[in-house]
Structure 1
Amino acid sequence: MLIPAHNEADFIAIAVESAFSQSVPPQKVLVIADSCTDGTARIAAECGAEVIEVGFASKPRSLNHALERVTTSHVALLDADGYFASRQVFDTCLRVMDEHGYGGVCLSVTPHSSTGLFQRSRAVEWASAHRISRIVETWHGWVAVLSGSAGLYRVDDLRAVGGWSADSLCEDVELALKMNRHGRPAGFVRGEFVAVRDPRGWREYWAQTHRWASGWAQAIDKHKGLFFRSWGFTKVFGAMMVDSALLAAGYVSLLYHLATGFTEFDAVRWFGSWFLVMAAVTLTTASLQLGVRRALACYPAYLLVGTLGTAFALWVMFREWVLGRHLVSWTGRQRRRTVVTPISDRRRRALGLLGSGEASTGSRSASRRSPRRPARTPGPSRATPWSARPSPTPAGSSRSRSTPATAAGTRSRSPWSTAPPTGCRSARRPPDRSARGARRDASGRRRGTVGSGVWRLRS
Structure 2
Amino acid sequence: MTLVALIPAHNEQDRIVATLAGLYRQTVRPDRIVVVADNCTDRTARIAEYCGAEVFVPTNNKDKKAGALNQAMAPLIADLADEDLVLVQDADTVLNPEFVGCAVEAMEDDTVGAVGGIFYGEPGGGLLGQLQRMEYQRYALEIRRKNNEAIVLTGTGSLFRAGVLRQVRRARLDGVIGGGESYYSLASLTEDDEITKAVKTLGYRTVSPDGCWLVTEVMPSVGKLWHQRLRWQRGALENLRDYGWTSVTRKYFGQQIMLGVGALALGLFFLYAVLDLTLVGWGGLSLFWTAIMLIFVVERTLTVRRLGWRATLLALPLIPELLYDVFRQAVFVRSLVDLVLRREAHWVAT
Higher relative contact order (CA 8 A, sep 6+): 2
Q: Could you tell me the percent identity over the aligned residues?
A: 23
Whether 2:224 is the aligned partner of 1:213: answer: no
Q: Which of 30, 34, 38 in structure 1 is aligned with 2:42?
A: 38
Which position in structure 1 is the counterpart of 2:211? 191
User: Residue 212 and residue 24 in structure 1: after superposition, are their counterparts in 2 closer, same or farther (change >3 A)?
Assistant: same
Q: Which of 244, 253, 257 in structure 1 is aligned with 2:272?
A: 257
Q: Which of 245, 251, 267 in structure 1 is aligned with 2:260?
A: 245
Deviation larger for 96-105 or 24-33: 96-105
Whether 2:306 is the aligned partner of 1:296: answer: no
Q: Distance in 1 between matches of 2:91 and 2:311?
A: 27
Whether 2:79 is the aligned partner of 1:59: answer: no
1:256-335 equivalent positions in 2, closer than 5 A: 256-262=271-277, 263=280, 275-287=293-305, 289-291=306-308, 293-299=309-315, 303=321, 306-320=324-338, 323-333=340-350
Q: Which of 50, 55, 59 in structure 1 is aligned with 2:54?
A: 50
Q: Which of 3, 6, 9 in structure 1 is aligned with 2:13?
A: 9
Q: Which of 101, 107, 121 in structure 2 is aligned with 1:111?
A: 121
Q: Which of 135, 140, 143 in structure 2 is aligned with 1:130?
A: 140
- Aligned residue pairs total 321
Report if the CA contact (8 A) 1:30-1:51 is conserved.
yes
Deviation larger for 111-120 or 74-83: 111-120
Q: Distance in 1 between matches of 2:53 and 2:293?
A: 49
Which position in structure 2 is the counterpart of 1:443? none
1:445-456 equivalent positions in 2, closer than 5 A: none
Q: Decide which structure has the larger Cα Rg and report it.
A: 1
Whether 2:159 is the aligned partner of 1:152: answer: yes
Which position in structure 2 is the counterpart of 1:92? 102
1:137: how far off?
4.2
- Indicate the structure with greater helix content: 2
Whether 2:112 is the aligned partner of 1:102: answer: yes
TM-score normalised according to structure 1 size: 0.64
Q: Secondary structure at 1:189's aligned position in 2?
A: coil
**Structure 2, unaligned runs of 5 or more:** 170-182
Equivalent position amino acid for 2:8 in 1: P
Report if the CA contact (8 A) 1:128-1:282 is conserved.
no
Which position in structure 2 is the counterpart of 1:413? none
Q: Distance in 2 between matches of 1:109 and 1:301?
A: 25
User: Residue 143 and residue 110 in structure 1: after superposition, are their counterparts in 2 closer, same or farther (change >3 A)?
Assistant: closer
Which position in structure 1 is the counterpart of 2:174? none
Report if the CA contact (8 A) 2:122-2:133 is conserved.
no
1:22: how far off?
1.0
Q: Distance in 1 between matches of 2:215 and 2:307?
A: 13
